[in-house]
């Protein structure tokens, strides 16, 4: 378009060439012609510039890209993330409760008089001196137990402090040293729960997925019984039921498709029978005790063999040692002396750790020399 206009402009200036008559030159004519030619030339230049400018503006208006508003990934994720609805417990709050309670949950392993595994259940510490709670049927027939935490703590259990058969609750004592490092749970003292109350059931993390914490709802309650919606794994027996503050409001005593528990009031009733003078002991051992007038013959009830220490099972590794064990009147080992060492401190310590767990029948107190041999083939 611009090219055709320029061609037309130069074609239009040809008629003006005849205005100059070479035969009759006139200064006035020549000057007028030059002035007219200069004015027209300037007009053509202005017209050409105007046309080119309009052409460029038209092209820019046609080729300008559209304006797009973008959103950063963080802002997009924030705008799309679901918000908690009223009455729904946020995941962060649920995680805080579990993180607070889980260090106090234990996995209780109970053994029979022959040293065989009897059963395992969950439990939880309720005091810094090692008192913990589980079900009464968990300790039925047991003469020894070990309590383990998910953090790696392992505690020998001295015995039972009190049992409530009607409530299916037992309070035991673990040997805890030092006591200041033990994490334990507080019991709720604010009153009974109402039907519809939201609670959390937390089992031992050592039970894998079965011990995972879960939200629950109280569907029924009485003075000595709580009913909870939803099924509970058998490994969660003895687990605490806690409120939003992490305080214990009940103890799971029946699992399966229908979950029932004992309220904290029933636990308080059992704890009221524990005094400062109460000694921890195993009921099974007490049942086998002779009459007070007879002199009991010392005999072992629980005597597991020491395990080979880790990292010492190389071919040809061996060692024999002798230890003198002292038992108190309740059958607990109170002292271990090395009579003959193996010469390998790992062997000696492995033997001592296991011998401390030995139990005997109640007596007037006695001593026993035990030979131990470590040998690899």
Question: What is the pLDDT at residue 30?
Answer: 53
Measure Cα distances from 171 to 72, 132, 251, 281 in Å. 57, 6, 12, 11
Gap between the Cα atoms of 122 and 237, Å rounded: 6
Per-residue pLDDT band for 200 (boundaries 50, 70, 90) equals very high
Per-residue pLDDT band for 58 (boundaries 50, 70, 90) equals very low
Per-residue pLDDT band for 235 (boundaries 50, 70, 90) equals confident
Give the mean model confidence (pLDDT) for residues 227-244: 89
Gap between the Cα atoms of 53 and 7, Å rounded: 18
Q: Where are the domains of the chain?
A: 2-58, 198-265, 290-375
CB contact at 8 A, 367 and 326: yes
Encoded tokens for 249:
């409001």
Gap between the Cα atoms of 58 and 50, Å rounded: 12
User: Mean pLDDT score of the chain, rounded to an integer?
Assistant: 78
- Which one has a higher pLDDT value, 228 or 307? 228
CB contact at 8 A, 240 and 250: yes
Choice among 55-59, 121-125, 297-301 with the minimum mean pLDDT: 55-59
pLDDT digits (tens, 9 = 90+) for 332-357: 999 999 999 988 888 899 999 999 99
Per-residue pLDDT band for 318 (boundaries 50, 70, 90) equals confident
Question: What is the pLDDT at residue 189?
Answer: 81
CB contact at 8 A, 243 and 249: yes
| Number of other CB atoms surrounding residue 217 within 10 Å | 13
- CATH architecture for residues 290-375: 2-Layer Sandwich (3.30)
Per-residue pLDDT band for 83 (boundaries 50, 70, 90) equals very low
Question: What is the pLDDT at residue 75?
Answer: 35
Task: State which CATH number among 3.30.70.360, 2.40.128.20, 2.40.10.10, 3.40.50.280 fits the domain covering 198-265.
Answer: 2.40.10.10
Choice among 3-7, 33-37, 98-102, 120-124 with the minimum mean pLDDT: 3-7
Indicate whether 69 pLDDT > 70: no
């Amino acid at each position: 378009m611009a090219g055709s206009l320029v061609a037309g402009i130069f074609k239009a200036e040809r008629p003006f060439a005849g205005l100059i008559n070479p035969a009759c030159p006139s200064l006035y004519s020549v000057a007028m012609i030059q002035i007219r030619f200069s004015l027209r030339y300037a007009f053509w230049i202005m017209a050409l510039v105007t046309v080119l400018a309009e052409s460029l503006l038209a092209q820019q208006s046609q080729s300008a890209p559209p304006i797009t508003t973008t959103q950063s990934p963080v802002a997009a994720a924030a705008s799309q993330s679901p918000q908690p609805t009223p009455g729904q417990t946020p995941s962060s709050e649920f995680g805080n409760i579990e993180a607070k309670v889980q260090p106090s949950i234990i996995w209780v392993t109970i053994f029979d008089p022959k040293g065989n595994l009897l059963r395992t259940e969950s439990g939880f510490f309720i005091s810094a001196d090692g008192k913990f709670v589980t079900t009464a049927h968990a300790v039925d027939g047991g003469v020894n137990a070990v309590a383990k935490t998910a953090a790696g703590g392992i505690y020998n259990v001295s015995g039972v402090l009190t049992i409530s058969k009607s409530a299916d609750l037992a309070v035991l004592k673990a040997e805890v040293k030092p006591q200041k490092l033990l994490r334990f749970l507080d019991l709720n003292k604010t009153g009974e729960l109402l039907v519809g109350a939201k609670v959390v059931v937390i089992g031992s993390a050592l039970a894998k997925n079965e011990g995972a914490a879960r939200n629950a709802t109280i569907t029924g309650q009485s003075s000595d019984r709580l009913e909870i919606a939803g099924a509970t794994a058998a490994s969660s027996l003895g687990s605490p039921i806690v409120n939003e503050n992490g305080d214990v409001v009940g103890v799971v005593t029946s699992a399966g498709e229908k979950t029932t528990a004992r309220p904290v009031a029933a636990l308080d009733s059992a704890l009221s029978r524990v005094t400062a003078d109460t000694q921890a002991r195993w009921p099974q051992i007490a049942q086998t005790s002779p009459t007070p007038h007879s002199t009991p013959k010392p005999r072992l009830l629980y005597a597991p063999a020491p395990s080979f220490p880790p990292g010492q099972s190389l071919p040809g590794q061996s060692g024999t040692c002798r230890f003198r064990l002292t038992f108190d009147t309740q059958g607990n080992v109170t002292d271990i002396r090395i009579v003959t060492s193996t010469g390998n401190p790992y062997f000696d310590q492995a033997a001592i750790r296991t011998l401390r767990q030995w139990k005997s029948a109640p007596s007037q107190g006695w001593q026993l020399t035990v030979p131990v041999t470590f040998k690899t083939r």
